[in-house]
Amino acid sequence: MASDALPRRIVVVGTGLIGTSIALAMRERGAEVYLTDRDASSLRMAVELDAGRPLPDDGFDGPAELAVLAVPPAAVAVTLLDAQKRGLAEVYTDVASVKALPLDQAAELGCDLTTFVAGHPLAGSERSGPAAARADLFLGRPWAVCPAGTSSPEAVARVEALVRACGAEPVTVEAAAHDRAVALVSHGPHVVASSVAARLTGADDVALGLAGQGVRDVTRIAAGDPALWIGILTANAEPVADVLEAVATDLAVAASLLRDGSEEAATHVADLLLRGKAGRTRIPGKHGGRQSAYATVPVVIPDRPGELAMIFQAAGIAGVNIEDVTIEHSPGRPLGVLEIAVAPEAAEKLAAELRARGWSVPG
Amino acid sequence: MASDALPRRIVVVGTGLIGTSIALAMRERGAEVYLTDRDASSLRMAVELDAGRPLPDDGFDGPAELAVLAVPPAAVAVTLLDAQKRGLAEVYTDVASVKALPLDQAAELGCDLTTFVAGHPLAGSERSGPAAARADLFLGRPWAVCPAGTSSPEAVARVEALVRACGAEPVTVEAAAHDRAVALVSHGPHVVASSVAARLTGADDVALGLAGQGVRDVTRIAAGDPALWIGILTANAEPVADVLEAVATDLAVAASLLRDGSEEAATHVADLLLRGKAGRTRIPGKHGGRQSAYATVPVVIPDRPGELAMIFQAAGIAGVNIEDVTIEHSPGRPLGVLEIAVAPEAAEKLAAELRARGWSVPG
């Protein structure tokens, strides 16, 4: 096969969320997928989900085109060595959230680094395990591809073919730069979210009753699997520590400025808020940054069957394409607010159509 | 009128997001609403939005039943004094995010505290100003009511009637306890989100290209108005500083444990993640905590008009009540994933119905 063609036979080592999702995605593209996992129940579930068939103990006829090592960062190097000794595949990649350390370890163990191309799909979930897997997990997501100087161009092309087959966008980045980047946009924020959430363990019920969407969003990722995350954080220790120290310093300084109470001190705290607002706008939005271009039409909806269908039907009749929807429920009440994101020029038309049909659309 | 009856005539001082939203909500309930704001353009816009009519300079015949002071924390006391001097209303409340300091200031200024009951609706938006106002902003939200010892029972009952008329749930809490609570669940997390977002100002495009939903959620509230927030933070300085110092300490310790690199050090970092996970579960969910009781059915949807209507129609035909929906767009691709939250017993029925009609529902 050409190295950039869709791999037709792959092995997935590790049937957790990511491994099983890759298997499902490749099955949808018609590939033959073999699965293996140290945990027999995880493997059985992945097979039941039709993600592939179990890898026979004695292998099969000749190597697969590609083996995906979907194991924690600390297990990548030893799993690669074992897979290469068994001759499982022509090309190997991994999916760990950390790239430099496993690569160093693989070099130390004497792995063949011409056939290995490190990778990292930027997709996930607070849920883990094969049951949470889905073929569309990688659709439109970035997927870091980190060829070492030793990786052969053919191996790189084959891994990029896998990435595209899963619906993701390959982003080529050097391993150390990758690790600093994810410390900043993923690993560091994870620990920060955990620290904020940890303060809530001692909070009284009144305080928690005043919690709004803000603290829910800030702490959402803290619900992730601690066992999985401690492996990621320790494997990317220095870059994560750099980010945490910088944030800790900002927060300690802000605290002392607030206690100072002077107007000048307040100006410095305001500077931090301004820098935060500026940094926030640098994150690319949905639809490649077009998110802020949408207008939002809010509709008050009774919480009963059929209501959403009627609203979306009305939008269809008005010829309005819905870009996004959010439902804001009212805790304890059979009532919610549906926010419909549409092109700005369509907002007024949609609002008028919905009002004409009796829905309450606040001005 | 009875003190717990729906107020029929109110004055709203300050036509920003919160003041105008209260005005709109009370207009929907049939109340007569008078508006005033130091900023003439803000007042004009609120009037154009039909939130009420401008308060005449020479007042009107007799006091209103209630005046809502929707001004920043630092302006509450002086605005209350002025309103009481003018005899604007029988009862006064405010909506500031901080309660103890304005109350102290009002006492110092010699305001009449028998007719004043401090309040704080826990609702908001990254947007500000009357244009972002909506009558349903408070639906189902908690609204802290903080009577001082001096507040008359009639005044408290009238403010609670306003809260309920806006669709919110009154939560009675003492001012200092309120301030510590919001430092923990709102003001502290806001500064933390700003600090994480501030790190992104210096990030390169590759790093930002690897940003996923996690950092988007952690930093969402950092998009809020810095001028508004600095007023809140300085008025609640000590409780916020306490929270920021605790989080800063956790983060600095985590950084040094990660640099340590020993297994014992990793155990302590894992403890922080576990505490974070435990704290996260203490936040009440949508529908009064029932959120986790829903099952999610993912559907791959082409991004074209009519598709959502057809999906919701299919759900209606299957007799399935939709509890929540989220659309996950794929950046740069005309394809997305719709996640439909339903009662667990309905998930399989919905998935089968959608598959039968040709949609791709991952297993």
All residues of chain B having their beta carbon less than 8 Å from the beta carbon of residue A118 are none
Q: H or E stretch including B171?
A: strand B169-172
| Whether the predicted pLDDT of A340 surpasses 70 | yes
Mean pLDDT of A9-27: 96
Per residue in B186-200, pLDDT tens? 999 999 999 999 999
- Determine if the pTM surpasses 0.80: no
Chain B residues whose CB is inside 8 A of the A284 CB are: 208-209, 211, 331
Is residue A293 within 8 A of residue A300, CB to CB? The reply is no
Q: Is A331 on the interface with B (CB under 8 A)?
A: yes
E strands within B45-146? 53-54, 64-69, 89-94, 116-121, 142-146
Q: Which residues, at least 6 apart from A228, have a Cβ–Cβ distance to it below 8 Å?
A: A72, A128
Give which of B196, B290, B292 to mutate to test A binding, by max A Cβ within 10 Å: B196
CA atoms of B66 and B102, how far apart (whole Å): 19
List % helix, strand, coil for chain B (3-state, nearest 5): 50, 15, 30
Instruction: Report whether pLDDT(B286) > 50.
Output: no
Distance to chain A for B321, nearest Cα, Å = 5
Interface test with B, best of A128, A200, A238 (most B CBs within 10 A): A200
State the nearest Cα–Cα gap between A120 and chain B, in angstroms: 10
Answer whether B248 sits within 8 Å of A248, measured CB to CB.
Answer: yes
What is the predicted pLDDT for the residue at B330? 42
> Which pLDDT value is given to residue B63?
94
Q: In this model, does residue A333 exceed pLDDT 90? A: no
Q: Are A229 and A206 in contact (CB under 8 A)?
A: no
pLDDT at A79: 98
What gap in Å lies between CA B43 and CA B38, rounded to an integer?
8
Structure tokens at B359: 């949609």
Task: For chain B, say whether A358 makes contact (Cβ under 8 Å).
Answer: no
Residue-wise DSSP of A29-55: TT-EEEEE-SSHHHHHHHHHTTS-EEP
Residue A119: φ, ψ to 5°:
-145, 160
B34 SS3 class:
strand
Q: In this predicted complex, what is the ipTM?
A: 0.77
pLDDT for res A290: 34
Mean pLDDT of the region A313-330: 77
* Residues A335 and A300: beta-carbon distance below 8 Å: yes
What is the band of B9 on the pLDDT scale with cuts at 50, 70, 90? Answer: very high
Q: Could you read off the pLDDT of A164-190 as tens digits, one per residue?
A: 999 999 999 999 999 999 999 999 999
Amino acid at position B271, single letter: D
- Over range B253-257, report the average pLDDT: 98
pLDDT at A117 over 50: yes
Least confident window among A157-166, A186-195, A350-359, B353-362: B353-362
Go through the domains of chain A in sequence order and give each one's CATH number: 9-173 (3.40.50.720), 179-280 (1.10.3660.10), 288-356 (3.30.70.260)
Name the token pair of B327.
């659309």
Cβ-based neighbours of B59, under 8 Å, separated by 6 or more? B86, B87, B88
Q: How many distinct helices (H) and strands (E) make up chain A?
A: 15, 11
CB A15 within 8 A of CB A130: yes
**d(C-alpha A3, C-alpha A1), whole Å:** 6
Whether residue A334 has pLDDT greater than 70:
no
Structure confidence by residue, pLDDT tens digits, B136-176: 899 888 999 999 888 999 999 999 999 999 999 999 999 99
Q: Chain A contacts of B290, Cβ < 8 Å?
A: none
Mean pLDDT of A236-259: 98
Q: How far is it, in rounded angstroms, from Cα B193 to Cα A192?
A: 9
- The nearest alpha carbon in chain B to A97 belongs to B210
Q: Percentage of chain A surpassing pLDDT 90?
A: 63
Between the CA atoms of B330, B192, A270 and B121, what dihedral angle is there, to the nearest 10 degrees?
90
- Is pLDDT at B291 greater than 60 in this prediction? no
B173 and chain A in contact, CB less than 8 A: yes
**Dist CA B171 CA B161 (whole Å):** 12
Give the pLDDT score at B223. Answer: 92
Binned at pLDDT 50, 70 and 90, residue B310 comes out as confident
Q: Per-residue pLDDT tens for B203-236?
A: 998 899 999 889 999 999 999 889 989 999 999 9
Q: Tell me: pLDDT of A357 over 90.
A: no
Q: Which of B11, B216, B351 is nearest to A281 (CA)?
A: B216
218-277 in chain A: CB under 8 A from chain B = 218-224, 226-227, 229-230, 233-234, 237-238, 240-252, 254-256, 258-259, 261, 266, 269-270, 272-277
Where residue A286 falls among pLDDT bands split at 50, 70, 90? very low
For position A86, what pLDDT does the model report?
94
What percent of chain B clears pLDDT 70, i.e. is strictly above it? Answer: 92
Whether the predicted pLDDT of A34 surpasses 70: yes
Per-residue confidence at A82, pLDDT binned at 50, 70, 90? very high
Q: Which residue of A has its CA nearest to B256?
A: A241
- Residue B333 pLDDT class (50, 70, 90 cuts): very low
Longest C-alpha distance within chain B, in Å?
76
Beta pairing, strands A335-342 & B335-342: unpaired
Q: What pLDDT, in 10s, does the model give residues B13-64?
A: 999 999 999 999 999 999 999 999 999 988 998 898 889 999 998 777 889 9
- Which residue has better confidence, B333 or A184? A184
Q: Which residue has the higher pLDDT, A297 or A127?
A: A297
- Average pLDDT of chain B to the nearest whole number: 89
- CB within 8 Å: A218 and B215: no
**Average pLDDT, whole number, for chain A?**
89
The distance in angstroms from the start CA to the end CA of chain A is 60
Strands A142-146, A116-121: pairing is antiparallel
Q: Find chain B residues with C-beta within 8 A of A185's C-beta.
A: 200, 203, 207-208, 210-212, 214-215
- Please determine, for residue A361, whether its predicted confidence score (pLDDT) is greater than 80: no
Average pLDDT value for residue range B342-356 = 88
Side-chain-side CA neighbours of B221 within 13 Å: the count stands at: 23
